[in-house]
């Protein structure tokens, strides 16, 4: 691609034209820079700066998970959506079942749990943050009863991931 840009700039600089770059604002901009500067160091400097700037912008759009994303997935009772936010291993605690599971195992267990307990709503009772970690305590309302729910998210790399998730029957 950059070979085409340089060729279009050279063609423009020598008084010729290039059909592709004539119809592209970016190509016209680069060609005009080459003509105005008489030497290509000016153009190389700005092109390098543009490439670095675009790279930084693209890197900044990495998905960042927040506690609100997990709450939204909990409200729908969607285990697949919820598992997107899991760490590679998750401490999962359900009535009658508690262990450390892989991400895929935890997803399957939650699918079964949500199938047996159709989710009506999830109400956040308390949420907070401490040392870069986030936690939430809430009430999961299902057709079979209510569950006190808690989950804990920890910073891993540049994302928050769920490391603990627990459900207790409310009586």
The SS3 call for residue 34 is: helix
The per-residue pLDDT for 158 is: 84
The closest alpha carbon to 125, from 97, 93, 147, belongs to: 147
pLDDT at 62 over 90: no
The SS3 call for residue 65 is: coil
E strand spans, the chain: 86-94, 97-102, 119-130, 133-142, 145-156, 159-169
Average pLDDT over every residue of 12-23: 51
Question: Within a 13 Å sphere around the CA of 34, how many CA atoms are in the beta-carbon half?
Answer: 20
pLDDT in tens, 109-159: 999 999 999 999 999 999 999 888 999 999 999 999 999 999 999 998 888
In this prediction, residue 63 has a pLDDT band, given cuts at 50, 70 and 90, of: very low
Report the alpha-carbon distance of residue 34 to residue 12 in Å, rounded: 8
The per-residue pLDDT for 171 is: 79
Domains along the sequence of the chain with CATH:
67-169 (3.10.450.50)
What does the mean pLDDT of the chain come to?
79
CB 18, CB 27: distance < 8 Å:
yes
In the chain, DSSP finds a helix count (H) and a strand count (E) of 7, 6
CB 109, CB 96: distance < 8 Å:
no
């Amino acid at each position: 691609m950059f070979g085409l840009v340089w060729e279009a700039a050279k063609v423009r600089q020598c008084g010729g034209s290039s059909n592709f770059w004539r119809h592209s604002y970016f190509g016209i901009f680069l060609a005009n820079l080459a003509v105005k500067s008489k030497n290509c160091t000016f153009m190389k400097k700005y092109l390098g700066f543009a490439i670095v700037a675009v790279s930084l912008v693209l890197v900044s759009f990495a998905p960042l998970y927040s506690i609100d994303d997990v709450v939204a997935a909990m409200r729908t009772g969607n285990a697949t959506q919820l598992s997107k936010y899991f760490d590679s291993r998750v401490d999962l605690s359900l009535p009658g079942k508690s262990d450390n599971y892989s991400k895929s195992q935890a997803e399957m267990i939650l699918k079964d749990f949500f199938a047996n307990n159709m989710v009506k709503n999830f109400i956040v009772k308390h949420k907070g943050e401490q040392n870069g970690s986030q936690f939430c305590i809430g009430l999961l309302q299902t057709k079979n009863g209510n569950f006190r729910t808690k989950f804990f998210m920890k910073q891993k790399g540049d994302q928050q991931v769920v490391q603990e998730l627990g459900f207790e029957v409310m009586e």
